Structure 1
Amino acid sequence: MIRAQVSSVPAFSALRASLDTAYFHDCYSVELPVDERSPLELYLSVVSHTPGWIDALMKLRNKIVARLGLKDLGALSHIDPGKPAQDYRVGDQAGIFKLLEIHEHEVVLGETDKHLDVKISVTRQDLPSGVVVSVATVVHVHNAMGRVYMFFVKPAHRIMAPATVSRLTSR
């Protein structure tokens, strides 16, 4: 399995404009051989093959934050396996995130609550020899609780995000 690498958010990404005001952002990329999947299909593939240890951490997260009044997001891998990508529409729930934008080369998903806004972008950039898939995360916090939450989430995210994105290479 090829490990996802830290990268810049692609210049054409819808998330690019919000980077300057973000509390946190990152991006991980992998290069795949020729792959015809859309950005939404790539996202669905990534989350439906989430490593079990990440879903276990999400379960623990949900138990802890429920006591603090934050949302139980469920498991990252909780995707309807019978729903094809072409049936998803803006506003639909796709795992723990809601679909915000669907474009030919990018899909943007997100979740908002009173403490923070999270947006995820999955982009594909075609190359002569394959495709570069980038998964970017941008977080804007609204208050102290959002900052405390991110204090604990940032280190975990830096392990979980590349491990999840890397799963695309073992399709």
Structure 2
Amino acid sequence: MNIPHNALIHSYLDGAYFADTHNIELPYQGESALEIYITTMKKTPNWVNTLMDVRNRIVSKLGLKHLGSLADVDKDKALDDYQVGDQIGIFSIVSIEPNELVVEDCDKHLNVRLSFLIVPKGDRMVLHATTVVDVKNTLGKVYMFFVAPVHRRIVPTSLKTLLPA
């Protein structure tokens, strides 16, 4: 995977059951990784939110956690008010740096971690969106069997919403 060596998400890669990264080059005006993450979540395509709704209905019958929607971001909360440990959409914040945000959702079946890392290039940037999943049991493996292929489509599609029109 093409992840910069200084990315905080690297510490979660060893032994991961699933890991992928998607990169996109975008205009850059000094936005933080948190700001770009929130913008991305707010622009989540409707079909992705529909899939999340279907996922939540199915897995809640199997005893897995109902996550809500990716777009469930507090629209009134100021960027400066976010702290490590806060909930932001379906994830909790692990680390907030100007150039990298790491969020996670952990339960008895798996740990999912996501990093948004900005690498500035003048008035452009490369945004690296990296997901790392640690599976804890068979149900987690079954879940990832179905989710991994869809995930590989969701992330690049969501990142493309950031491109200027």
Aligned residue in 2 for 1:50:
44
Q: Which runs of 5+ in 1 are unaligned?
A: 1-6
Aligned pair partner of 2:103 in 109, 112, 122: 109
- 1:36 offset after TM fit, Å? 1.4
Q: State the alpha-carbon separation in 2 of the partners of residues 127 and 114 from structure 1.
A: 40
Q: State the alpha-carbon separation in 2 of the partners of residues 10 and 166 from structure 1.
A: 21
Range 38-47 or range 14-23, more displaced: 14-23
**RMSD of aligned C-alpha atoms?**
1.2
- 1:167 offset after TM fit, Å? 1.1
Aligned residue in 2 for 1:41:
35
Normalised to the residue count of structure 1, the TM-score between the two structures is: 0.92
Tell me the SS of whatever aligns to 1:169: coil
Structure 1 runs of 4+ aligned residues shifted over 3 Å read: none
Aligned residue in 1 for 2:93:
99
Q: State the alpha-carbon separation in 1 of the partners of residues 33 and 52 from structure 2.
A: 24
Tell me the SS of whatever aligns to 1:31: strand
- 1:42 offset after TM fit, Å? 0.6
Tell me the SS of whatever aligns to 2:8: coil
Q: Deviations over 1:89-120 (max 9, x none)?
A: 11110000000101121110000000000000
Q: State the alpha-carbon separation in 1 of the partners of residues 85 and 9 from structure 2.
A: 18
Q: State the alpha-carbon separation in 2 of the partners of residues 169 and 105 from structure 1.
A: 19
Q: Which runs of 5+ in 2 are unaligned?
A: none
Identity of aligned residues (%): 41
Aligned residue in 2 for 1:62:
56
- 1:16 offset after TM fit, Å? 1.1
Normalised to the residue count of structure 2, the TM-score between the two structures is: 0.96
Q: State the alpha-carbon separation in 1 of the partners of residues 100 and 25 from structure 2.
A: 16
